[in-house]
């Protein structure tokens, strides 16, 4: 009897033990619990190593399921051009993201990681994604609702690849076109930039009524966490030099560069990225007064603050000279997640040591982790951590390409139309005997997309799916019209051609960040000679592909018409829609167009304002046929 009783008790004990191990109720795993209850419950369970791991974001090239598990890594990213393989499919992306995620889920607490990517004009790293116009072109549309739709489309195309976090939008106010990131800015006028923060509810979803101010919000699995960047003043650096010093007083910083952050926070932006630049000599990545004092405390931002790529390293000069100090300065300033991106072991070891020595207080770590977890809970990552292929069909789909095409035609700014007011060249006729299409950018998809497309710096050629301007012209013109293309035609070639008119497409070659800094802003060769040769002999419209205003005054008189097309992206038909009169020109300059670089910086409202074309300028035309 005693033996059977002992056996029964042993069995009961084992059952209870198994139940407590496998089925133990944890509040943080219960979606019915209030958000703060879930955060507090999980925080109480976390070790220091688990907390520090959450603060690290590493590049996919050094990530693996084992690394995620062993170091409790909180986030992984794709840097510009960092992909699973060349021409990777949605399945390739989803499988890669899930492999990392499975490592995170296999940890003691199963905290999911968040994968981020620079989806700055569509999901632009991904082959066959829809490439929308860069922000400068969207600023020319003056259409926040259109930009919101682009945000929603970008979110779907990111989710198509299993990615729930986009490092967008850039809400810089570019005050000098010599800056290599100027095309990432919607405008020199903060009011336009503020209006274009409508992309955030496009990416993340519309805030519910009476939503708590400053709290992050992501509506569901078809949306992504957004990132307002780069905090703050990145567009105001001296001479437009990337990562340089923004010299401006406190009032100027708050009135020009800060307003779009107010809007972003009111719209529930999940994250804010810190700028490489300095403000009056102080590195933003170490600026506690602005990151913690202003952004977190005054503006009540409750999402997480993330560094830029190796951003804390650049607190010192040269970068990385004193990495331990950089971690101390950056984390104590209020950075919650650090884009490491490679040396995660050094980051974890050094931050652990700084905490043990009480140089970085535990309260700062808890604040950082609490913010990161808040975003992850709000996104639904704990309930749906693994990606699937349910959104795969959204990548590059027809509806998104039509939206991009609409954005292109609304972004085009007509600067000149006819050598005489009563003799406009545009819209062009679709049926003539023979036309010339010339220029280095007419048949180059990579050139018309610009930087941050497939590769970080962009590239030349047919780098993804899309329609070049030449292809768009061919599909628009009457089949009886002969279309001749020449990259850089000679004078004799043109004389023999007997062309009705020419479309000349020239501009900048792709660039990103510092590689785009440019103190002379001239049209790259052979663009100027092509314009001169063609336009001196036949009627011509010049379509300028560029991330900013360029020097055009010397050539303007020879052109019959001039169109600023910015960096239109993958849908070249948006250009021909307007050139040939299916739609009218409506775009307005988002930037002042200077006469000479000696005038720079020059912005609307300046005391000495003498532009070639003023901010807001843009000629209009009417469609030639009803649609």
513 an active-site residue? Answer: yes
DSSP state of 187: B
Residue 480 makes CB contacts below 8 A (sequence gap 6+) with 431
Angstrom CA distances, 596 to 178, 240, 530, 553, 611, stand at 12, 15, 21, 8, 9
Instruction: Using DSSP, state whether 207 is helix, strand or coil.
Output: coil
Sign, Cα dihedral of 354, 360, 361, 365: negative
Of 350, 455, 513, 560, which is the active-site residue? 513
Distance between CA 587 and CA 593 in Å, rounded?
14
Q: At what angle do helices 35-45 and 362-379 cross, to 10 degrees?
A: 130
The question of whether 308 is a catalytic residue gets the answer yes
The number of beta carbons lying within 10 Å of the beta carbon of residue 448 is: 31
Q: Which of 50, 243, 308, 517 is catalytic?
A: 308
- Which among 121, 197, 183, 185 has a CA at the least distance from the CA of 158? 121
DSSP label of 558: T
Q: Which residues pair with 482 in a beta bridge?
A: 434
The values of phi and psi at residue 502, to 5°, are: -130, 145
**CB 13, CB 309: distance < 8 Å:** no
Q: Kind of pairing, strands 540-545 and 561-566?
A: parallel
Do residues 341 and 58 make contact, with C-beta atoms less than 8 angstroms apart? yes
Answer for the pair 129, 452: CB distance below 8 angstroms, yes or no: no
- For the chain, the maximum distance between any two Cα atoms, rounded to a whole number of angstroms, is 114
Cα–Cα distance measured from residue 348 to residue 58, given in angstroms and rounded to the nearest whole number: 12
The phi and psi torsions of 138 (rounded to 5 degrees) equal: -65, -35
Question: Rounded CA gap, 93 and 97, in Å?
Answer: 6
Catalytic residue ranges: 308, 513
């Amino acid at each position: 009897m005693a033996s059977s009783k002992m056996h029964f008790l042993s069995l009961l004990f084992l059952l209870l033990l198994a139940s407590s191990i496998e089925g133990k109720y944890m509040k943080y795993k219960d979606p019915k619990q209030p958000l703060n209850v879930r955060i507090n419950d999980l925080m109480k369970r976390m070790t220091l190593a688990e907390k520090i791991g959450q603060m690290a974001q590493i590049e996919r090239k050094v990530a693996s399921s084992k690394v995620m598990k062993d170091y409790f890594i909180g986030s992984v990213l794709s840097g510009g051009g960092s992909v699973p393989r060349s021409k990777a499919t949605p399945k390739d992306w989803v499988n890669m993201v899930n492999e990392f995620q499975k490592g995170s889920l296999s940890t003691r607490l199963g905290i999911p990681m968040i994968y981020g990517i620079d989806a700055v004009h569509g999901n632009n790293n991904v082959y066959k994604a829809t490439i929308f116009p860069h922000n400068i072109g969207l600023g020319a549309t003056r259409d926040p609702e259109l930009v919101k739709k682009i945000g929603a489309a970008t979110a779907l195309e990111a989710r198509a690849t299993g990615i729930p976090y986009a490092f967008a939008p850039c809400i810089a106010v570019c005050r000098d076109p010599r800056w290599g990131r100027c095309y990432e800015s919607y405008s020199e006028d903060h009011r336009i930039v503020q209006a274009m923060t409508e992309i955030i509810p496009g990416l993340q979803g519309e805030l519910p009524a009476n939503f708590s101010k400053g709290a992050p919000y992501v509506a569901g699995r078809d949306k992504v966490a957004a990132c307002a960047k780069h905090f703050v003043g990145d567009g105001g650096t001296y001479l437009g030099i990337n990562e340089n010093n923004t010299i401006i007083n406190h009032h100027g910083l708050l009135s020009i560069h800060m307003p779009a952050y107010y809007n972003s926070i009111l719209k529930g932006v999940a994250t804010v990225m810190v700028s490489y630049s300095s403000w009056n000599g102080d590195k933003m990545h170490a600026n506690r007064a602005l990151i913690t004092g202003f952004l977190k405390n005054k503006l009540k931002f409750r999402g997480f603050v993330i560094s830029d790529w190796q951003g804390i390293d650049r607190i010192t000069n040269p970068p990385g000279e004193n990495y331990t100090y950089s971690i101390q300065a950056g984390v104590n300033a209020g950075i919650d997640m650090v884009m490491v991106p490679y040396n995660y072991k050094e980051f974890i070891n050094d931050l652990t040591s700084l905490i043990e020595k009480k140089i970085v207080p535990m309260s700062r770590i808890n604040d950082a982790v609490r913010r990161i977890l808040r975003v992850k809970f709000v996104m639904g990552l704990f309930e749906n951590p693994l990606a699937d292929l349910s959104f795969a069909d959204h990548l590059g789909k027809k509806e998104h390409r039509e939206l991009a095409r609409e954005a292109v035609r609304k972004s085009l700014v007509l600067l000149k139309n006819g050598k005489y007011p009563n003799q406009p060249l545009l819209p062009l006729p679709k049926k003539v005997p023979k036309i010339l299409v010339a220029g280095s950018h007419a048949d180059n998809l990579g050139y018309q997309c610009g930087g941050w497309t497939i590769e970080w710096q962009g590239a030349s050629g047919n780098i993804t799916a899309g329609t070049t301007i030449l292809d768009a012209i061919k599909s628009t013109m009457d089949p009886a019209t002969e279309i001749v293309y020449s990259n850089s035609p000679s004078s004799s070639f043109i004389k023999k051609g007997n062309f009705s008119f020419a479309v000349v497409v020239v501009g900048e070659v792709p660039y990103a960040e510092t590689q785009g800094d440019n103190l002379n802003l001239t049209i790259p060769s052979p663009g100027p000679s092509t314009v001169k040769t063609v336009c001196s002999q036949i009627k011509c419209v010049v379509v300028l592909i560029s991330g900013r205003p360029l020097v055009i005054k010397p050539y303007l008189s020879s052109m019959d018409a001039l169109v600023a097309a910015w960096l239109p992206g993958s849908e070249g038909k948006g250009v021909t829609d307007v050139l040939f009169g299916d739609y009218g020109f409506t775009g307005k300059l988002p930037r002042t167009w200077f006469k000479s670089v000696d005038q720079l910086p020059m912005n609307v409202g300046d005391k000495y304002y003498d532009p070639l074309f003023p901010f807001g300028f843009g000629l209009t035309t009417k469609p030639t046929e009803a649609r």
